[in-house]
Amino acid sequence: MTQGVNTLNWTYSRYNKGDFMALITFGADPESIQDDKLEYYVTVLESEIHETFQEKFNSLAEACVFLNTNYGDWTFEDQTAPKSGCSTCAAH
Q: Model confidence over 7-37: pLDDT tens digits?
A: 999 999 999 999 999 999 999 888 878 888 8
Average pLDDT of the chain to the nearest whole number:
88
The 10 Å Cβ neighbour count of residue 89 is: 8
What are the CA-CA distances from residue 91 to residues 79, 82, 87 (Å)? Answer: 20, 16, 8
In angstroms and rounded to an integer, the radius of gyration of the C-alpha atoms of the chain is 15
Can you give the residue ranges of every domain in the chain? 13-88
pTM of the entire structure? 0.81
